């Protein structure tokens, strides 16, 4: 995409529907080429980013030669987030999932092409998946290639997104210390988000504010005044469930006779480390009535099936989910409804992507005279909380033992484990 006055351009890998590119464009960066293997993602990206060359290819089949030829030059940065299946704490954790090896493919392409900078984003579970081995799969080839890298776990709510959603972000640079975005908003509704920022920052928009000017949802696609802003009327049983739920309540708050059988089966599941689910925050939500006075819980591919409107006894529409992901209402999602739901749920929120774009620009603008220095991990902030899970502590130790001989730093509250003594 050609943006008037743009200074830097990127290659966007694992682009999905294009939320990252959309946000980067808002920050003044252009996209030289996008790529994703999944057809609904490719169709959606092309529909919204006219003129950007697109490669619908498996990342394992992408070569530096192909990417540079398609882009026309070496980009200023390569950006992207390998698919989060197998990582997300909202889904099954499976470190052996073949798709997870795409982290290595992403790192290898960057190491071979050697753009001045890169941006990596993924779910928070990336830090602990496969006992932390995927963190090493990302870092090892890139540090060897000379990149100075910062990794932080950020909550998108601290950047004006009306949603509580944690993301693992890595920015690397050959020439400078990477800059990561400072919070722009004071969030609430989640302990971690409330510890970031300060009282002078504006409050993160609530669900009610984010959805306030939307037209009434239709009950069929043909009657919708806004694309994807419709939902089927609930069955009598579902209508009763929705009516009985208070804001913030989930399936577990309903009488047993109204709890769905599939929910009861899932409530007995065990998480990967063997901890009973009741000791990890309780049973899965099943359905949840969204609180209007706070940012939303994380929008996933199941949000339009599970999230109930705070004032109307119905599910959220796909367009409302996209709003909470800060996509503009004119943004098109191409494919069947389930594909659209996945595209929206897997996307990086556009407003957060814009903040990352500003940080990436700051990183590219900086020249700290480090181009001749070896690569290293310069910052690794994995939590703002006082405690870490055993899995996260394991990753911390893994990273500490592997990179502690480097000139690294770890900014963390005194209560946290010190990574770099």
Q: For the chain, percent helix, then strand, then coil, each to nearest 5? A: 35, 15, 50
N residues, the chain:
421
Cβ atoms of residues 126 and 107 within 8 Å: no
pLDDT of 131 over the 90 cut: no
Residue 266 tokens read as: 């899932």
pTM above 0.95, yes or no: no
* Mean local confidence (pLDDT), 34-62: 97
> What's the pLDDT at 94?
54
Select which of 13, 62, 77, 84 is catalytic. 84
pLDDT value of position 346 = 95
Higher pLDDT, 268 or 203: 203
- For the chain, residues classed under CATH 3.40.50.150 are 9-202+350-403
Q: Is the pLDDT of residue 126 over 70?
A: yes
What average pLDDT does the chain have? 87
> What pLDDT sits at residue 190?
73
Torsion of CA 362, 365, 366, 371, to 10 degrees: 120
Between CA 364 and CA 368, with CA 366 as vertex, the angle to 5 degrees is: 125
283-312 residue pLDDT tens: 566 899 999 999 999 999 999 999 999 999
pLDDT > 70: percent of the chain: 84
Confidence of residue 356 (pLDDT cuts 50, 70, 90): very high
207-268+276-346, which class in CATH?
alpha beta
pLDDT at residue 172, as a whole number = 98
The mean pLDDT value for 324-342 works out to: 97
Per-residue pLDDT reduced to its tens digit, 381-394: 988 777 889 999 99
More confident residue, 238 or 419: 238
Element (H, E) at 211: helix 207-211
Q: For residue 281, is it left (φ>0), alpha (ψ between -120 and 50) or beta?
A: left
> Which is more confidently placed, 281 or 22?
22
Examine the pLDDT at 76 and tell me if it is beyond 90.
yes
pLDDT at 286: 84
User: What per-residue confidence (pLDDT) applies to 90?
Assistant: 59
> What average pLDDT does range 96-115 have in this prediction?
81
pLDDT digits (tens, 9 = 90+) for 16-30: 999 999 999 999 999
State the average pLDDT over residues 177-201. 83
Q: Does domain 9-202+350-403 have CATH number 3.40.50.300?
A: no
Would the pLDDT of 139 be above 70? yes
Domain with CATH 3.90.120.10 in the chain: 207-268+276-346
What would the DSSP string read from start to end of 341-395?
HHHHHHSPPHHHHHHHHHHHHHHHH---S-TTSPPEEEEEE--SSS---HHHHHH
Sheet order of strands, 54-55 included: 54-55, 30-35, 9-13, 77-80, 117-123, 166-173, 148-155, 376-381
In terms of DSSP bridges, do strands 9-13 and 30-35 run parallel, antiparallel, or are they unpaired? Answer: parallel
pLDDT at 192 over 50: yes
Give exposure, 272-309, as e/b (b: 16+ Cβ within 10 Å): eeeeeeeeeeebbbbbbbbbbebbbbbbbbbbbebbbb
More confident residue, 47 or 3: 47
Concerning whether 84 is annotated as a catalytic residue, the answer is yes
What's the confidence (pLDDT) of residue 97?
45
pLDDT score at 1:
42
Distance CA 306, CA 91 (A): 14
Band of pLDDT at residue 189, cut at 50, 70 and 90? confident
pLDDT at 183 over 60: yes
Confidence at residue 414, expressed as pLDDT on a 0 to 100 scale: 34
Strands (DSSP E) contained in 232-364 are: 288-289, 307-308
Identify the pLDDT of residue 277: 46
What percent of the chain has a predicted confidence (pLDDT) above 90?
A: 73
pLDDT given at position 264: 65
Task: Please give the pLDDT value at position 89.
Answer: 58
């Amino acid at each position: 995409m050609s943006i008037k006055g743009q200074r830097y351009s990127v290659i966007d890998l694992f682009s999905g529907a294009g939320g990252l590119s959309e946000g980067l464009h808002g920050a003044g960066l252009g996209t030289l080429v996008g790529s994703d293997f999944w057809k609904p993602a490719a169709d959606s990206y092309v529909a919204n980013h006219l003129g950007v060359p697109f490669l619908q290819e498996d990342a394992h089949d992408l070569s530096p030669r192909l990417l540079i030829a398609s882009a026309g030059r070496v980009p200023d940065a390569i950006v992207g987030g390998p698919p989060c299946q197998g990582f997300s704490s909202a889904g099954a954790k499976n470190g052996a999932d073949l798709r997870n090896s795409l982290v290595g493919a992403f790192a290898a392409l960057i190491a071979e092409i050697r753009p001045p900078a890169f941006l990596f984003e993924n779910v928070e579970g990336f830090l602990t998946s496969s006992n932390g081995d995927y963190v090493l799969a990302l870092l090892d080839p890139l540090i060897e290639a000379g990149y100075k890298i910062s990794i932080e776990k950020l909550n998108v709510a601290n950047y004006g997104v009306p949603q509580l959603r944690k993301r693992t972000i890595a920015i690397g640079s050959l020439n400078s210390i990477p800059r990561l975005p400072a919070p722009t908003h004071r969030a609430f509704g989640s302990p971690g988000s409330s510890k970031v920022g300060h009282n002078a920052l504006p409050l993160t928009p609530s669900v009610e504010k984010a959805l306030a000017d939307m037209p009434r949802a239709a009950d069929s696609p043909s009657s919708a005044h806004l694309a994807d802003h419709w939902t089927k009327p609930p069955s009598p049983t579902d209508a009763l469930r929705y009516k009985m739920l208070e804001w913030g309540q989930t399936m577990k708050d309903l009488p047993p006779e109204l709890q769905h059988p599939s929910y009861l089966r899932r409530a007995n599941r065990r998480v990967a480390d063997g901890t009973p689910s009741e000791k990890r925050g309780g049973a899965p939500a099943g359905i949840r009535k969204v609180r209007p006075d706070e940012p939303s819980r994380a929008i996933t591919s199941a949000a339009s099936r599970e999230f109930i409107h705070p004032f109307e006894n119905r599910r959220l529409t796909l367009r409302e989910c996209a709003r909470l992901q800060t996509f503009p209402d004119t943004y098109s999602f191409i494919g069947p409804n389930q594909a659209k739901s996945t595209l929206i749920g897997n996307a990086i929120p556009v407003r957060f992507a814009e903040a990352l774009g500003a940080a990436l620009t700051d990183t590219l603008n900086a020249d700290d005279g480090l181009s001749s220095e070896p690569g290293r991990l310069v910052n690794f902030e994995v939590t703002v909380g006082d405690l870490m899970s055993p899995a996260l502590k394991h990753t911390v130790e893994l990273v500490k033992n592997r990179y502690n001989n480097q000139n690294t730093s770890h900014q963390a509250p005194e209560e946290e484990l010190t990574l770099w003594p």
